[in-house]
Amino acid sequence: MDSCRIPANASKCSGNTMECFMVLSTQAQKISIGILCGLFGTMCVFENSLVLYLIFSSPGIRKKPSYLFIGSLALADILASIIFVCSFVNFHVFNEAGFSKEVFLLQLGGVNTSFSASLSSLLLTALDRYLSISRPSEYKLLMTRKRAWTALAVLWLTCAIIAGLPLLGWNCCTLDSACSELFPFVDDNYLVGWICFVVVLLGCIVCAYAHVLWRARQHVAYMEKHQAQAERQTSRMRMDVMLAKTLAMVLAVLMLCWSPVLVLMIYSIFGRLSDRLRKVFAFCSTLCLLNSMVNPIIYALRSKELFSSLRRVLSHFRRQLKAPEESPEAESTHKSSVIET
């Protein structure tokens, strides 16, 4: 495998060199990756689709900018799961290397766009919660639905442009530069830039959440001292505190799932990865699906509004199932059976 890797020039682009990145050597490894991707990917798409349905089927929820950002996060996780599972399993499990450089970079750009949009949606959500807690009286004026949609449009466009740079020409084949050990055709300098972009996003999210939780703690202390004041304001503050803690849990899961991948990416830039570490990277990559699968579970457990909406949907579904049993035909059949008995 070492003879296949020529990172200092573009000779990697000639011939069938995609096989150099197919690091899973045994059938057991391929089956394990296939099972993980299939399980996590299916659950992720189902759960995040349910979150989107709960948000946009409820007029009261979908009007709130905070849930528009959560909807953006769910959409990003769905797209990342679909694109990642299809391309990852096709490449590592079925060893399909017949596609062109442009097709591979397009798939990689889709995954990067979705992941970047997921991080950016978390950042917007954290900023939204900070405004809600720090400026409750001005929140509705500062965070309108129009501004929320504008922020989301800028977010997705920026992420798509950054992720599409290799497809537009910033790749080691076009530039005749050093190629990444982890991704075919990806320039090492671009990988450094993308990692810096992700680290900056994570740093901003951590700072935003730190301020959110600090303000939330201040509000808890304030409420304990002024329990005789308006109950409505107190209830809303407690809701903000609950959502802030929820988003902190989301961030903790995000860091836990993506830290191994980012660490190995950084290590690949400054050192040479062994075959074993490249296999570890392949398995760690599936943790992104686990992160996308866990996020909706956290929403269902922590968000009272989404949980109430889910209960309404389940109640409606149960009523639909009971309707045929309570129909006149079913009732007459039941009565006739009782008479015969």
pLDDT per residue as tens digits for the range 145-189: 899 999 999 999 999 999 999 999 898 888 888 888 888 889 989
What pLDDT sits at residue 2?
Answer: 37
In a domain, 194, yes or no: yes
In a domain, 140, yes or no: yes
In a domain, 292, yes or no: yes
pTM over 0.75: yes
- Tell me which residue range forms the domain holding 67: 24-307
In a domain, 330, yes or no: no
In a domain, 67, yes or no: yes
What pLDDT sits at residue 322?
Answer: 76
CB 73 within 8 A of CB 295: yes
Contacting residues for 33 by C-beta, under 8 A, at least 6 apart: 24, 88, 89, 92, 93, 282, 283, 286
Q: What is the CATH number of the domain that holds 106?
A: 1.20.1070.10
In a domain, 91, yes or no: yes
In a domain, 148, yes or no: yes
In a domain, 318, yes or no: no
The count of structural domains within the chain is 1
Beta-bridge partners for 187? 179
Residues of the chain with pLDDT under 70: 1-17, 97-98, 216, 219-244, 247, 299-301, 323-341
Q: Which residues of 62-83 are buried (b: 16+ CB within 10 A; e: fewer)?
A: eebbbbbbbbbbbbbbbbbbbb
